[in-house]
Amino acid sequence: MSALPPIDDPSVLVGTSTADDAAVYRVSDELAIIQTVDFFTPIVDSPYYFGAISAANSISDVYAMGGKPVMALNVVGFPKNREGLPLSVLGEVLEGGADKAREANVAVVGGHTIDDHEPKYGMSVMGFVHPERIWKNIGGKPGDALVLTKPIGTGIISTAMRAGKASDEVGELAIRSMAMLNRAAADAASAFEVHACTDITGFGLLGHLREMLSDGTVGARVEAEAVPLLAGTRELCRAGFVPGGTRRNLAALGAQVRPGALPEEERLILADAQTSGGLLLALPRAVAKELLDELERAGVMGALIGELVEEHPGIIDLR
């Protein structure tokens, strides 16, 4: 596969040179456009919640760049003729996506559908941001606190749900977390000096944190016990419900993670492939408590899970 051509347009403020959540294009000195696209196969049995979760996941990339999402196009793959899968199912998927977009004040203005044996759904989302107030996933500074705004564990729980081994309560809590917009978290953080931000999705907490260290200027320490988990995550991990993507995530991290005495089970959880996870923000430690208070007032979970450090750039220390 050939690499993408280099970008020489000075109006492209965020492109392919980093692993950022979306692209950003400058329109004027006061306005830039954020553009992103994401879609995936069903992660839950409910068509409605599949649509809502996928929409929340797609829209999240705009929040992770510090922007305001405004418009979306549906991206759909659905079989024309598959026994047991009527078009009414697609209608429920699109209804879930539309309701979530409406909650985010995002206009769904159309889209594109193809005939595909395996259903897929997502969105291409556009948003706005001031060119000087973009949150990138790099730019964190030594001493910055790391704040996470959703618990993790959706990959493990979703695997157990597909096997019929997750309780209704555990499954419902995971679905509620995945369907929750990152809007309130982004709004709360917008009042602070955010040095770097990303949202936690397929590469897991550790994989996306590694991307925040990719400019080679900082390392990270993570307090494993401080990382919030969805109910049932640890028990289901012990029972073996670990998706292949989670195991690949951990293997890919290699020597970039120093596990200390942390057992493999805990490292797998920290590398668990997430869907529609929370924001991971790096900001001055002096204001981290204020952010946590603001998140609480907004009804959003917030957890201080570690810090960025000057030593061992590009390396994550687990404690």
CATH (one of 3.30.1330.10, 1.10.3720.10, 3.30.70.100, 1.10.150.120) for 12-129: 3.30.1330.10
Relative to beta strand 107-115, strand 68-78 is: parallel
Of the given ranges (33-37, 79-83, 140-144, 206-210), which has the lowest mean pLDDT? 79-83
Question: Of 63, 281, 277, nearest to 184 (Cα)?
Answer: 63
Mean pLDDT for 156-178 is 97
Fold match flag (12-129 vs 144-318) = no
pLDDT score recorded for residue 218: 98
CATH architecture of 144-318: Alpha-Beta Complex (3.90)
Mean pLDDT for 301-309 is 98
> Cα–Cα distance between 291 and 283 in angstroms, integer?
9
Query: Tokens representing 140?
Result: 């964190």
pLDDT score recorded for residue 101: 98
Give domain limits for the chain: 12-129, 144-318
pLDDT score recorded for residue 98: 98
Handedness of CA 214, 216, 221, 226 (dihedral sign): negative
Mean pLDDT for 32-58 is 97
Mean pLDDT for 160-173 is 97
Mean pLDDT for 242-268 is 96
Mean pLDDT for 87-108 is 97
pLDDT at residue 1 tops 50: no
Residue 2: band (very low, low, confident or very high) from pLDDT cuts 50, 70, 90: very low
Residue 97: band (very low, low, confident or very high) from pLDDT cuts 50, 70, 90: very high
Mean pLDDT for 102-107 is 98
- The DSSP line for the chain is -PPPPPP--TTEEE-SSS--SSEEEE-SSS-EEEEEEEEES-SSS-HHHHHHHHHHHHHHHHHHTT-EEEEEEEEEEE-SS-TT--HHHHHHHHHHHHHHHHHTT-EEEEEEEEE-SS-EEEEEEEEEE-TTSPPPSS---TTEEEEE-S-B-HHHHHHHHHTT-S-HHHHHHHHHHHHS-SHHHHHHHTTS---EEEE--TTHHHHHHHHHTTTSS-EEEE-GGGS-B-TTHHHHHHTT---HHHHHHHHHHGGGEE-TT--HHHHHHHTPPPSS--EEEEEEGGGHHHHHHHHHHTT---EEEEEEESSSTT-EEE-
pLDDT at residue 176 tops 60: yes
pLDDT score recorded for residue 16: 87
Q: Percentage of residues in the chain with pLDDT exceeding 90? A: 94
> Cα–Cα distance between 35 and 134 in angstroms, integer?
13
The mean of the pLDDT values for the chain is 96
The pTM is what? 0.96
Mean pLDDT for 26-47 is 97
Question: Of 24, 97, 16, 17, nearest to 57 (Cα)?
Answer: 97
> Cα–Cα distance between 107 and 116 in angstroms, integer?
26
For residue 41, how far is the Cα from the chain centroid?
A: 16
138 phi and psi angles, rounded to 5 deg: -115, 165
